[in-house]
């Protein structure tokens, strides 16, 4: 028994030990597993918390969105003329967009986009879980046709909040996706579904620089979005997957396949029937698109000259008035979706364009070449050539006297090819070449309403405009203004504040300033002597303008007035005599010169020329209002009227008061209008390089310039008067149907009868008996400026009837004649022909007993050369005005007989007029011949507010300015395409027919 027990006990112990070991192992395993799962749970919890925290952080960093911030950015700016018509669209890359409203969207377009982009758009809350799972499945199975997971709401946020989703890394993309989904849900709680869809359709890029469905409909189908058919709507909906690949013009095949898918989706989702699907598929829509594309290319045109000028003015307004930087101003203008309402009148613009580009208005047309050539030689060196090199080649190599103008376009192109052959060598590579032909002479024209500064029409040149923001000769080119500037810099300030009147006279004779001697355009006719400011305007007299500026106004005041008139191009080098003649350092622009004359037309009030009335932003808020532009008074209304009346006379057929055979005529008769009052001033510069006419009617002010871009003379390139014909034709059409109200005389103006040779009150019996005719006329004066002194440039002298010299006791008879008094030491003039004699009669001998013993004689050194009337109570000497230091030189007079007057003894009292007498030495009796008394002197009085209307004279065949005299030194001129340096006014009328003497009241 014991043995059996002894043998069984070890076996039982072994089994017990193995069981414990297994239990221990199991326990360890359990603990390990437990620890693992606990660790896994902890890691999962921690990881989840981290993911949640990360997602929360991503969401917390998401940008805010609301109804205002989610709208698309970048809209095209629309330009409207004064009739409300769209004239231009200003756009840059990324902004060719026009806003569409939901009501404008056709149902087929809405359904097409929803079907292909977001089939559950009307049901989800911003994200579509099924679409996301479908998209994931498509990625895993490599089935791109499964579609994307983004809803339309998400796409809208991606485009407008995340700039199209252009992340560089996967992490950034994941971050954006979480924020996008969060914001989509948030947005749908704030914004109506219809508005979300509308904003989306306004945002998307649809190729060919077309943003939004409204622009795309016009670009591809030439129609408004509301008129799209099912077939056309699916074409546009197909572009969104890739604006380049699926562009219906360049990617027709890809777009067509996409369109089939969209139509199938629309059918499957119940938007269209099978018949509608098949009808749309049968539509030859892509042929239609290609035809529209061809027409769109043909219709393309650069901005007009008006729009070019508008862009410049609006940009400046944004910078100067709104405080924008140049970049900000540019971006707002081209992508701000602005509405710009301009002053352009389409009917008037058409008139201007028609006449400026009418070849019949140009007696001679030539052609200039704009040439650019870039060549790379065998050593990779680059060489650039232009038309200047071609001209230099003609001068230095060919020596053919070429002036830069060609007789035909073919000749210009051939010359470019010939020059190209001389510079392109073997081994050279032509990198670029440009050939542009320009018509010459060129023209610019500005038409504006002087009452409000509104520019109604503008032309920056003749010929086809081939590019936007190109050379605008009306606003961007400065040229020498010639005689037009006499009014601005000399005559206006002289009348306004310097004490002169239209009747104030200056002595027209050879005139030297420093080392420069000036002459008139009519130098072959000689100098005219005493001439008024009225004469200086009508006959464009250089010497009168120069003396007015230098002796009365001063260049400093002249510059100040010109700047006040709106001229901004003057420099410190313009404080000199040439200012009076329009010889400026830089010249002026047509726009500013026309604006200066508009000031005169507007009764002396300057208004800066404006191209727009208001600018409205994309939200309908007016950001700039130009309807009441700032103004300032430059000259008194009386000054404006006086200048107007004199300039009106320059357009009429008038002749300068002068000797027989002298023909100096008004300079602007070719600008006279048929049925409308007009006033203006012409201008021509040295060598006939620039020609101008700037004038106005009671309604509009217009300025025309003509010349060659490179300053060739007009003498053999069309002459110097064709521009006035253009001005007249345009303004006649502009004035059709308008009432001629004339130029009303303001209450600040009065009239007085004066002598045209002194500008003072006429002496009865003397001034009307000037040897050349009646020198009296009725002149306008600003109230209080009419003269109170009597003429001091005429004198009456008793002479021998036969010899015309001072009489002796033996002279059988004597008579009294009227003579001139002129300044001493002057060159010969028309007045100096009529000086009183100082010599005694050489026909009858002995001393003249009529003369007082104290009377001066030709032998008295102090008064030698003074022509006198007998000194007595009845025949005193007429004293010259002291400011002129005048005296009389000896010269025989004409045979014109006038009454022997009594010179004034008091400054304000007219003299008594005796009857003219002739004394006979043989009989000793006086033969009294009755003479008709002249009209009584009219003392200054206010005129009635009647209107002065001009009448149509016969026009001359040539109405130009020609100067024969020294010019002035040409200063530096760095202005692009500016006219020549300072030049002298060279104005003249040419042939005239039957002119008459002028004066406001004959």
- Identity of the highest mean pLDDT range in 277-286, 483-492, 940-949: 483-492
Query: Residue 291: pLDDT band by 50, 70, 90 thresholds?
Result: confident
- Identity of the highest mean pLDDT range in 114-128, 185-199, 654-668: 654-668
Give the lowest-confidence range in 96-100, 303-307, 709-713, 926-930. 926-930
More confident of the two residues 3 and 156: 156
Does residue 235 have a pLDDT over 70? yes
> What pLDDT does residue 882 have?
31
Does residue 893 have a pLDDT over 60? no
> pLDDT tens digits for 344-389?
999 999 999 999 999 999 999 999 999 999 999 888 888 999 999 9
Query: Residue 418: pLDDT band by 50, 70, 90 thresholds?
Result: very high
Length of the chain, in residues: 1002
Does residue 966 have a pLDDT over 60? no
- What angle in degrees, to the nearest 10, is found between the helix axes of 285-299 and 252-268? 130
DSSP 763-805: PTTTGGGBTTB--EEEEEEETT-S--SBPSSEEEEEEETTT-S
Does residue 520 have a pLDDT over 90? yes
> What pLDDT does residue 108 have?
95
More confident of the two residues 998 and 123: 123
DSSP 484-496: HHHIIIIIHHHHH
Q: pTM, whole model, 2 decimals?
A: 0.75
Does residue 864 have a pLDDT over 50? no
Contacts of 42 (CB under 8 A, 6+ apart): none
Whole-angstrom Cα distance, residue 153 to residue 635?
A: 64
Can you tell me the mean pLDDT for 941-956? 40
Give the lowest-confidence range in 194-198, 306-310, 572-576, 875-879. 875-879
Does residue 972 have a pLDDT over 80? no
Does residue 118 have a pLDDT over 70? yes
Is residue 6 reached through a cis peptide bond, with omega within 30 degrees of 0 on the bond before it?
Answer: no
> pLDDT tens digits for 774-810?
999 999 999 999 999 999 999 999 999 999 999 999 9
Whole-angstrom Cα distance, residue 477 to residue 591?
A: 10
Whole-angstrom Cα distance, residue 321 to residue 791?
A: 55
> What pLDDT does residue 897 have?
28
> What pLDDT does residue 127 have?
77
> pLDDT tens digits for 133-144?
665 555 455 554
Point out which residues pair with 499 in neighbouring strands.
none
Does residue 865 have a pLDDT over 90? no
Can you tell me the mean pLDDT for 317-326? 90
More confident of the two residues 773 and 928: 773
Contact, 830 vs 824, CB < 8 A?
no
> What pLDDT does residue 62 have?
53
Q: Of 1002, 992, 989, which is closest to residue 538 (Cα–Cα)?
A: 989
- Angle at alpha carbon of residue 296, lines to 290 and 300, rounded to 5°: 150
> What pLDDT does residue 848 have?
42
> pLDDT tens digits for 524-563?
999 999 999 999 999 999 999 999 999 999 999 999 999 9
Query: Residue 889: pLDDT band by 50, 70, 90 thresholds?
Result: very low
């Amino acid at each position: 028994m014991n043995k059996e027990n002894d043998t069984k006990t070890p076996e039982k112990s072994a089994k017990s030990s193995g069981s414990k070991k297994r239990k221990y192992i199991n326990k360890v395993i359990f603990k390990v597993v437990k620890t693992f799962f606990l660790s896994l749970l902890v890691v999962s919890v921690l990881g989840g918390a981290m993911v949640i925290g990360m997602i929360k952080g991503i969401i917390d960093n998401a940008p805010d969105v609301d109804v205002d911030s989610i709208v698309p950015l970048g809209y095209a700016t629309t330009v409207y003329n004064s009739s409300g018509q769209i004239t231009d669209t200003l756009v840059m890359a990324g902004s060719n967009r026009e806003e569409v409203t939901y009501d404008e969207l056709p149902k087929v377009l809405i359904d097409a986009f929803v079907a292909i982009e977001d089939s559950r758009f009307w049901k989800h809350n911003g994200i579509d879980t099924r679409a996301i799972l479908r998209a994931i499945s498509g990625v895993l199975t490599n089935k791109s046709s499964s579609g994307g997971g983004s809803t339309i709401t998400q796409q809208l946020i991606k485009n407008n909040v995340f700039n199209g989703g252009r992340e560089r890394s996967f992490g950034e993309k994941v971050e954006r996706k979480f924020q996008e989904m969060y914001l989509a849900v948030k947005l749908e709680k704030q914004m109506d579904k219809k508005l979300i869809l509308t904003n989306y359709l306004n945002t998307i890029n649809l190729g060919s620089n077309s943003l939004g469905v409204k622009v795309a409909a016009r670009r591809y189908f030439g129609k408004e979005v509301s008129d799209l058919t099912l077939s056309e709507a699916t074409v546009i909906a197909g572009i969104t997957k890739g604006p380049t690949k699926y562009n219906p013009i360049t990617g027709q095949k890809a777009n067509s396949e996409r369109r089939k898918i969209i139509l199938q989706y629309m059918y499957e989702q119940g938007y269209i029937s099978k018949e509608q699907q098949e009808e749309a598929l049968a539509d030859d829509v892509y042929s239609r698109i290609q035809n529209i594309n061809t027409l769109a290319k043909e219709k393309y045109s650069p901005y007009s000259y008006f729009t070019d000028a508008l862009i410049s003015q609006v940009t400046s307004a944004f910078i100067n008035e709104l405080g924008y930087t140049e970049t900000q101003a540019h971006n707002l203008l081209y992508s701000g979706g602005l509405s710009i309402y301009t002053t352009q009148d389409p009917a008037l613009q058409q008139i201007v364009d028609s006449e400026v580009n009418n070849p019949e208005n140009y007696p001679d047309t030539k052609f200039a070449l704009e040439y650019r050539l870039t060549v790379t030689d065998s050593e990779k060196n680059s060489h650039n050539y232009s038309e200047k090199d071609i001209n230099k080649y003609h001068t230095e190599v060919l020596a053919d006297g070429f002036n830069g103008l060609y007789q035909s376009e073919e000749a210009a192109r051939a010359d470019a090819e010939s020059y190209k052959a001389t510079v392109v060598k073997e081994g050279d590579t032509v990198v670029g070449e440009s050939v542009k032909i320009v018509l010459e002479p060129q023209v610019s024209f500005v038409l504006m309403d002087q009452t409000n500064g509104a520019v109604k029409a503008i032309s920056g040149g003749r010929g086809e405009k081939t590019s936007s923001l190109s050379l605008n000769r009306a606003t961007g080119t400065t040229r020498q203004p010639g005689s037009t500037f006499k009014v601005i810099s000399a005559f206006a300030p002289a009348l306004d504040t310097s004490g002169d009147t239209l009747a104030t006279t200056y002595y027209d004779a050879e005139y030297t300033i420093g080392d420069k001697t000036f002459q008139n355009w009519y130098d072959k006719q000689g100098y005219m002597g005493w001439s008024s400011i009225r004469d200086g305007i009508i006959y464009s007299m250089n010497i009168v303008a120069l003396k007015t500026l230098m002796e009365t106004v001063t260049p400093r005041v002249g510059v100040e007035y010109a700047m006040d008139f709106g001229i901004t191009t003057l420099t410190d080098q313009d404080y000199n005599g040439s200012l009076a003649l329009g010889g400026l350092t830089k010249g002026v622009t047509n726009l500013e010169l026309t604006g200066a004359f508009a000031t005169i037309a507007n009764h002396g009030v300057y208004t800066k020329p404006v191209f727009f009335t208001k600018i409205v932003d994309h939200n309908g808020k007016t950001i700039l209002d130009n309807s009441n532009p700032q103004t300032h008074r430059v000259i008194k209304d009386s000054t404006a009227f006086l200048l107007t009346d004199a300039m009106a006379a320059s357009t009429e057929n008038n002749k300068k008061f002068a000797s027989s055979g002298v023909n100096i005529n008004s300079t602007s008769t070719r600008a006279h209008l048929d049925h409308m009052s007009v006033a203006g001033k012409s201008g021509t510069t040295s060598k006939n390089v620039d020609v101008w006419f700037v004038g106005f009617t009671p309604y509009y002010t217009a300025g025309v310039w003509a010349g060659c871009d490179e300053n060739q003379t007009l003498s053999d390139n069309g002459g110097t008067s064709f521009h006035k014909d253009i001005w007249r034709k345009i303004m006649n059409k502009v004035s059709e149907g308008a009432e001629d109200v004339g130029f009303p005389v303001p209450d600040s103006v009065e009239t007085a009868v004066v002598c045209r040779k002194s500008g003072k009150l006429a002496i009865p019996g003397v001034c009307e008996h000037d040897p050349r005719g009646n020198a009296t006329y009725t002149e306008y004066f600003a109230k209080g400026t009419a003269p109170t002194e009597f003429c001091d440039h005429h004198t009456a002298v008793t002479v021998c009837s036969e010899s015309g010299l001072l009489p002796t006791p033996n002279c059988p008879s004597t008579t009294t004649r009227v003579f001139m008094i002129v300044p001493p030491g002057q060159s010969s003039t028309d007045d100096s022909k009529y000086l009183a004699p100082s010599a005694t009669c050489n026909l009858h001998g002995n001393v003249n007993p009529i003369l007082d013993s104290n009377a001066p004689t030709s032998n008295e050194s102090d008064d030698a050369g003074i022509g006198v009337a007998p000194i007595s109570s009845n025949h005193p000497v007429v004293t010259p005005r002291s400011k002129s230091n005048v005296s009389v030189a000896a010269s025989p007079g004409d045979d014109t007989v006038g009454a022997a007057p009594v010179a004034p003894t008091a400054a304000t009292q007219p003299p008594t007029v005796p009857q003219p007498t002739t004394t006979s030495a043989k009989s000793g009796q006086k033969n009294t011949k009755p003479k008709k008394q002249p009209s009584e002197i009219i003392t200054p009085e206010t005129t009635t507010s009647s209107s002065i209307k001009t009448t149509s004279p016969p026009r001359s065949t040539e109405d130009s300015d020609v100067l024969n005299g020294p010019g002035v030194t040409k200063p530096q001129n760095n202005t692009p395409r500016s006219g020549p340096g300072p030049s002298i006014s060279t104005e003249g009328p040419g042939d005239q027919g039957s002119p008459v003497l002028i004066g406001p009241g004959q």
